[in-house]
Amino acid sequence: MIMKVNYIEQQLEINKSSILSIEIEHKKTLCKLMNDINDLEEKGYSENIMIWDEEFNELKIKKIKVITNYFAPDDLLKKYTNDFIKLLLQSLSDKQLDEMNKIYNKNNSFVEKIIVENDFPLELETQPYEAILKNVKIKFKKYKELINNLMQLIDIEKILKIHSMLVFIGLKQFLTKEELSELYKYAIYNNIKILLIDFNSTGVPIKNERKLIIDESLEEYMV
């Protein structure tokens, strides 16, 4: 995937074999890029960004996910719950669906008996399979270490295949170089495209990283 931003000279190649990191010291350019990346996430397009494949055919990306809050893993992951419920339904055989329906009807019969015995003016609504599963409380594992929560996010993306790319904003201020290297390696191994956007230059690239630095004078350095 090749991304061309109107106000950045360099073409930005985002692939599965290395990680692109953009470090922007020029504040207005940083804000502009953040707005355009948010447009990509919310609308699926941006007036200032063009995206091509390796042969320069224009691409319409499906979705990108922008991550800015790293310390509320429940908020970060809860939006995936419905997608996993749909995947669970697709994974169930007819026999398993029938079994789930029997369990559901058994529970309903128990509640209906109580309603009748107490002469309550109530009736139970029949629910589709998806609604039944939604009543089952499922949650993702939550780790103390940020790196482990991010790697779980990559695992989820690998399974669900929802987004064309994950964009991490300001991540480098929270991870060590060793942790970043571990995250890069894991994303590449699992074929997940990620892009990092940070506010300051952090020096030479680490392993598996390509870096574009835009300094305060708008000079660009691809290293």
Return the CATH number at 71. Answer: 3.40.50.11940
149 and 202 in one domain? yes
Contact 33, 197 (CB under 8 A): yes
| pLDDT, tens digit (0-9, with 9 covering 90-100), for 60-108 | 776 899 999 898 877 778 788 888 888 888 888 888 888 888 887 888 8
91 and 66 in one domain? no
Residue 185: CB atoms within 10 Å: 13
41 and 7 in one domain? yes
> What stretch of H or E contains 157?
helix 146-160
175 and 149 in one domain? yes
Helices (H) and strands (E) in the chain, counts: 7, 9
> What stretch of H or E contains 183?
helix 177-189
70 and 7 in one domain? yes
| pLDDT, tens digit (0-9, with 9 covering 90-100), for 176-204 | 999 999 999 999 999 999 999 999 999 89
Per the structure, the complete domain to which residue 154 belongs is given by 2-76+140-222
pTM of the model: 0.85
Phi-psi group of 108: left, alpha or beta (phi > 0 → left; psi -120 to 50 → alpha; rest → beta): alpha
Give the closest residue to 28 by CA, choosing from 218, 206, 165: 218
Neighbouring residues of 150: CB distance < 8 A, sequence distance ≥ 6: 70, 183
Residue at 177: amino acid letter: K
> What stretch of H or E contains 66?
strand 64-67
Number of domains in the chain: 2
